[in-house]
Amino acid sequence: MELKAFILAAGYGTRLRPITEFIPKPLLPLLGRPLLHYIIENLFKTLPLQGLALNVHHKAEQIEAFCKTYFGSNQITIFKEREILGTGGALKNAWHYLKGTPFLVHNGDILTNANLEEALYFHLQRKPLATLLVREDIPRKNLIVDPEGRLIGLEEKGGLERGFTGIAIYEPEFLEFLPLGFSSVVEGWLKALRAGHEILTYPLRGAWFDLGTPGAYLKALFFLLKTQGETVYVHPEAETENLQFQGMLSIEKKCSFAKGSFLKNVVVLTEGETISGRFENGILYPGGFIQVRPEEFLEREKEGYAVGFGGSERRFYRQANRSILMKDPQKENLERTIQYNLYLKSKSINVPKIKKIGEGEVLFEDLGDLSLYSYFRVFKSEGRRRRVLKKVLDEVVKLHTLSLDGEAPYFPPFDYEHFRWETSYFADKFLNFLCGLRVEEALEREFDKLAELSAGFPKNLMHRDLQSQNIMLKRGRAYFVDYQGARIGPPGYDLASLLWDPYVELSESLRGWALRYYIAQRKRIEPQFNEHLLILSLPFLRLQRHLQALGAYVNLSLFKGKGYFLKFIPQALFYAMEETALLERDFPLLRAYLEEAKRILKRKGLFEEL
């Protein structure tokens, strides 16, 4: 079939002034890409389009330049309006382009990830004059429909209320109900109804945002961050070394910051300037700042504002009394969290203070939003990274040199059985499920050997999941979270997790410095500490850790619905292949399996970086 799409992109964006005095609404940046890019991408991804057009008026030259730069001059037809024509007049003005085929109309200020092909199939099956995509959760419910979803009108009594999403599918005959000049599509709907035509509605499923207000813009942008497993986005040319921040952050333009500047829950649209001051909850634009109430863009539930989105199944909520409420459905995990926390806190290890314990929940002190992961995402200089790593390593050394006394809870051993569980996890999730590879008996023997070697190195109390998202930074101090999996195991596993973390890439010089610093600090407390055994253990423990991570990323993304973990697989696989190259004499078959996995994933087109 033949289908065209038309994007309404001519509006002034009055509710977003003064931002739209600089940027037209369809070009509002969202993590480095304009809103219009997301709209066009979703249209081509979910629909069998034979043509795409849009209208322009306000800041027309910017939108035209974007279309030409990113999509070429021939892919998009542009209708320039000397005077703005409204939603109906814009379609009538494009009559010669739209006639003869069904067409979808999409407002230029709507962000959605919905599969629009479902609505198209419905429209083609039922053959109404128009299908309006609707939702029940839109505050302004401006449509009245009957129980079968037929449009009755706008103010009629006795029907069901629905909100129009700004997306609709029309038969070309609908254009006959629109006059020349300025008009609204609503006028066409009502004329068509009076003429006896059927207009149906169809529920739009998936995420949907109307970016018509500053709060809605922030909400949409922070939603995109969370769907990518991030809390910050930084323009590649922004200079952030002087910045301090908390919460969600999106620096969309090239800019710099004066010393002492602070941002929290802020989007930066200012370009080419040095920003100075403290800004919370809003939008920085050229020449000013728009304040937005947190409830307009943060996810609020009865327990508080939802925070966190890592690999855990636990839920976290920020409450008004500078506290974080953690709900854990797994009783055993919760009990370990409490036991380990109280003991580590009593030994001056930096973990969040417990304020209150309830049924299935714990109230902690609020450590803020700044994880080591987010810190490394924003700050790239070796000097700044070294300073923060020093604080982290000081805390790691305290943990690793802790002498367990009679009051210590039971910390299970990180022994052969657990190392073998990790490699079985890797084989099941990564090799078998993702790559379709059958594990040979000879590879199982290599896993046995890796587990025996890893379990044979000296042990101490360890975190066991010491990656950058499990380290929080507050007031110049590093804190451990997600420590309920702590065990008695080799310290090199923690160091592998921290310094060869697939989430963030550190330079070889920084890793070398960090290892030397850890060894020096540890020997200061334990002069007998064997640094040679630590160095010897690292390739084996790094390999073990990366195999575990590959299994975890597949499980979290494809079994737990957290797709953003897929993006970490290329780096983890690269690290694992590096280690098997070093240890090829010990693990030749594992190296061959990883090479084959790389070829399979490239062939599937899953990872461009491989």
Q: What does the pLDDT read at residue 102?
A: 93
Q: Which of 54, 92, 109 is nearest to 184 (CA)?
A: 92
Instruction: Examine the domain organization and report whether 13 and 67 are in the same domain.
Output: yes
Report yes or no: 388 and 468 within 8 Å, Cβ to Cβ: no
Tell whether 158 and 31 lie within a shared domain.
Answer: yes
Do residues 461 and 400 touch, judged by C-beta distance below 8 A?
A: yes
Q: Are residues 73 and 144 in the same domain?
A: yes
Question: Does 610 map to a domain?
Answer: no
Residue 217 · residue 363 · CB < 8 Å: no
Instruction: Tell me, yes or no, whether 274 and 386 share the same domain.
Output: no
What are the per-10-residue average pLDDT scores of the chain (610 residues)? 89 88 93 93 88 91 87 78 91 92 94 92 93 89 87 79 92 93 92 93 92 92 90 92 90 93 93 92 92 86 73 77 85 91 95 92 90 92 94 97 91 96 97 95 96 96 96 94 94 97 94 97 96 96 97 93 90 96 95 95 72
Q: Are residues 194 and 273 in the same domain?
A: no
Q: Looking at residue 607, what is its pLDDT? A: 67
Residue closest to 66 by CA, chosen among 25, 95, 107: 25
pTM of the model: 0.87
Q: What is the pLDDT of residue 310?
A: 57
How far apart CA 221 and CA 365 sit, in angstroms, is: 28
Core vs surface per residue 408-431: b (16+ CB within 10 A) or e: beebeebeeebbbebbbbbbebbb
pLDDT at position 74, please?
63
Q: What is the pLDDT of residue 610?
A: 45
Assign residue 585 the CATH number of its domain: 3.90.1200.10
Angle at 455 between CA 453 and CA 457, to 5 degrees: 80
Q: Which of helix, strand or coil describes residue 389?
A: helix
CATH number, residue 55: 3.90.550.10
Position 423 in a domain: yes
Structure tokens at 46: 């979910």
Tell me, yes or no, whether 431 and 419 share the same domain: yes
Give the pairing of strands 130-135 and 33-34.
Answer: unpaired
pLDDT at 309: 62
Is residue 198 included in any domain, yes or no?
Answer: yes
Of the three residues 296, 324, 347, the one that is the final residue of a domain is 296
Please check whether residue 499 is in contact with residue 515, taking contact to mean a CB–CB distance below 8 angstroms. Answer: yes
Residue 359 is encoded by which pair of tokens? 């049924």
Angstrom distance (rounded) from CA 499 to CA 316: 27
Residue 569: inside a domain: yes
User: Is 609 within a domain?
Assistant: no
**Where does a domain end: 344, 365, 386?**
365
The Cα 236–Cα 251 span in angstroms is 9
pLDDT for 7: 94
Please tell me the distance from the alpha carbon of residue 540 to that of residue 535, in angstroms, as a whole number: 10
User: Which are the contacts of 185, defined by CB distance < 8 A and separation ≥ 6?
Assistant: 87, 88, 91, 105, 168, 178
Q: Does residue 69 form part of some domain?
A: yes
C-alpha neighbours within 13 Å on the C-beta side of residue 375: 25
Q: Residue for token digits 């061959």?
A: 592
Is the domain of 341 the same as that of 197?
Answer: no
In angstroms, how far apart are the furthest CA atoms of the chain? 92
- Shared domain for 511 and 580, answered yes or no, is yes
Is the domain of 33 the same as that of 168? yes
Looking at 311-379, list the stretches that DSSP marks H as alpha helix, in order from N- to C-terminal side: 331-346, 372-378
| Geometric angle at alpha carbon 42, from 311 and 190, rounded to 5° | 125
What residues does 243 pair with on adjacent strands?
Answer: none
Q: What per-residue confidence (pLDDT) applies to 522? A: 97
Domain of 323 in residue numbering reads as 300-365
Cβ contacts of 506 within 8 Å, gap of 6 or more: 376, 385, 499, 500, 514
Rounded-to-integer distance, Cα 234 and Cα 225, Å: 11
Domain count, the chain: 4
pLDDT score at 314: 80
Which residue is associated with the tokens 């199982």? 444
Residue 460 belongs to a domain: yes
DSSP state of 109: T
What is the reported pLDDT for 500? 97
Is there a single domain that holds both residue 163 and residue 19?
yes
User: Last residue of some domain: 189, 210, 231?
Assistant: 210
Residue 262 lies in a domain: yes
- Residue 317 CA, chain-centre distance (Å), reads 18
Cβ-in-10-Å burial (0-12, 13-18, 19+) of 205 comes to middle
CB-facing half-sphere around the CA of 370: CA atoms within 13 A: 18
Instruction: Indicate if 358 and 410 belong to the same structural domain.
Output: no
SS (H, E, C) 455-508: HCCCCEEECCCCCHHHEEEECCEEEECCCCCCEEECHHHHHHHHHCCCCCCCCH
Amino acid present at 271: E
463 and 327 fall within a common domain: no
Return the pLDDT at 311: 54
- HSE-CB at 343 with a 13 A cutoff on CA atoms is 21
